[in-house]
Amino acid sequence: MTAIEQTEAARPRGTRLPRRARRNQLLGAAQEVFVAQGYHSAAMDDIAERAGVSKPVLYQHFPGKLELYLALLDQHCEALLQAVRTALASTTDNKLRVEATMDAYFAYVEDEGGAFRLVFESDLTNEPAVRERVDRVSLQCAEAISDVIAEDTGLSKDESMLLAVGLGGVSQVVARYWLSSESAIPRDKAVALLTSLAWRGIAGFPLHPTDGQLSAEGH
């Protein structure tokens, strides 16, 4: 059950919930408000009302709006990182690995809760604590991709990281464009097109030209 689903299930005012369940409920309500209004326009009153609790209850769990936003950002940055790591570990066939990683970004931005907007489209990136978290998750995703590239191509750490940053950046930018443009292209087709583009480039760095490895013949 997602945080937003927990919010829906636990919204009636006056319901007593275990502390962890209440925290998850408040995070779900905060996500809805922050995604809809942005950080600067959102108010703690709005979040408390959305959660069906009094403002003092909200402050018992989060001392301020920034702390609430950062807790939510931590949750969704971790979700993105785990999605990328899971995709990379899902197969040893590198073309399928590229496809799975691209799809992880598309799935992340397509999630109906809109949490990707907090990570990639935040109106609070001038806040150092927010910028640090966004930069860190982008770096961690790139490092996970870079490790696979280095292992399978023999490229240096710096070279592999450069390619990994490019793959991650292209994935999230294209996925966000695909979503915002309300493209008629189905997600699987969009992922396949982007994979084809990426694979034609990354396959040009062979180390072991065998099936499933990064080889120029493996298009």
Q: Report pLDDT for 10.
A: 45
How many Å apart are CA 39 and CA 131, to the nearest integer? 14
- Name the 3-class secondary structure at 171: helix
Buried-state track 68-96, b at ≥16 Cβ within 10 A, e below 16: bbbebbeebbebbbebbbebbeeeeebbe
Predicted pLDDT at 207: 65
Residue-level pLDDT, tens digit, the chain, 219 residues = 444 444 444 444 456 778 889 999 999 999 999 999 999 999 999 999 999 999 999 999 999 999 999 999 999 999 999 999 999 999 999 889 999 999 999 999 999 899 999 999 999 999 999 999 999 999 999 999 999 999 888 889 999 999 999 999 999 999 999 999 988 999 999 999 999 998 888 777 766 554 444 443 343
Q: Supply the pLDDT for residue 19.
A: 85
